[in-house]
Amino acid sequence: MQASPLAHHFESLEKQAHAARLGMWLFLATEVLLFTALFAAYGVYRFLYPEGFAQSSRSIETWIGFVNTLVLVTSSFTVAMGLDAAVKGNGRRTALLFAASVGLALVFLGFKAIEYAHHFQEGQLPGRYYTFEGVQAPGASLYFSLYFLITGLHAIHVIIGMSALAIVGALAWRGRFTGEYHIPVELAGLYWHLVDLVWIFVFPLIYLI
């Protein structure tokens, strides 16, 4: 057995879990604000260049975004199921469900990589690298600056979240968590849901409107 998960400065495991959960929610708030700056910039430039943004949005493949949305929502579902298994003390099941989520995250990144490769071929690139012939309306290069910033930052979050799920899943497989103590499972899940939630906003902004 490993040492007790209760740190010396907390009086009970319950209080420690409460602190960890509160800390995670605050951290998620900072993450939301990080993206908010980019969404605000998107809003301002969409207002300034409605035509350029609309045409650029139509020039990228909506179906990839749609499939990726389905993939991410499904991965959130398996994470939620994994937490449910952890609450019931079934670490192995948690590990398998988290592994499925990591697999789905890899599928998401795969599609994203195909999409990025396509943009590089077409010259749909940010700022001074923009050489795409398809859309000439003003603001198109700004659209792709924001496109790469937002989806790039989101992809970094996918990689971080996926690593967290993998680590926590491995620990769950080794039986580190119990029905009473499974706070890392919960926190990794919370983070993954945020990654999913951000994409729920990215998808309509980038692909649909």
Partner 1 sequence: MSPSSAPVSEVPAYNPRNYLNSPATGLRSWLTTRDHKRIGVMFLVATTFFFAVGGLFAMLIRIELLTPGPTIVDAMTYNRLFTLHGVVMIFLFMIPAIPSGFGNFLLPIMLGARDVAFPRLNLLSFYVYLLGATIALWGMIHGGADTGWTFYTPYSTQTVTKVVPILLGAFILGFSSILTGLNFIVTTHTLRAPGMTWTRMPLFIWSIYATSVIQILATPVLGMTLLLVAIENAFGWGIFDPARGGDPVLFQHFFWFYSHPAVYIMVLPAMAVISEVVCTFSHKNIFGYNAVAYSSLGIAFVGFFTWGHHLFTSGQSAFDAGIFGVLSMFVGIFTAIKVFNWTATLYKGSISFKTPFAYFVGFLFFLVFGGMTGIALATVSLDVHWQDTYFVVAHFHFIMVGATIMAFLAALHYWFPKITGRTYPEGWGLVGATLVILGFNFTFIPQFLLGNEGMPRRYYAYPERFWPLNVASTAGASVLAFGLVLILVYLLVSLRSGPVAGPNPWHSRGFEWFVPSPPPPENWEVTPVITHPPHDYHHAGEAPPGGVEPEPRHAS
Residues of this chain that interact with partner 1 (CB under 8 A) are 7-11, 15, 18-19, 22-23, 26-27, 29-31, 33-34, 36-38, 40-41, 44-45, 48-49, 52, 126-129, 138-139, 141-142, 145-146, 148-149
> Which CB sits closer to partner 1, 50 or 110?
50
> Which CB sits closer to partner 1, 36 or 131?
36
Q: How far is the CB of 20 from partner 1 (least distance, A)?
A: 8
Distance CA 159, CA 155 (A): 6
> Which CB sits closer to partner 1, 19 or 107?
19
Residue 71's nearest CA partner among 101, 116, 115 is 101
Distance CA 84, CA 199 (A): 23
- Decide: 186 and 12 in contact? Cβ < 8 Å: no
> Which CB sits closer to partner 1, 94 or 145?
145
Q: Which residues are CB-neighbours of 198 under 8 A, at least 6 positions away?
A: 31, 32, 35, 154, 157
Q: How far is the CB of 45 from partner 1 (least distance, A)?
A: 8
Distance CA 49, CA 143 (A): 9
> Which CB sits closer to partner 1, 45 or 116?
45
Residue 111's nearest CA partner among 157, 68, 58, 76 is 68
DSSP per-residue codes, 97-114: HHHHHHHHHHHHHHHHHH
> Which CB sits closer to partner 1, 9 or 63?
9
What's the Cα-to-Cα distance from 44 to each of 39, 48, 117, 136, rounded to whole Å?
9, 6, 28, 20
The structure tokens 């994994």 sit at 82
Q: How far is the CB of 10 from partner 1 (least distance, A)?
A: 8
Q: How far is the CB of 4 from partner 1 (least distance, A)?
A: 16
Q: How far is the CB of 192 from partner 1 (least distance, A)?
A: 19
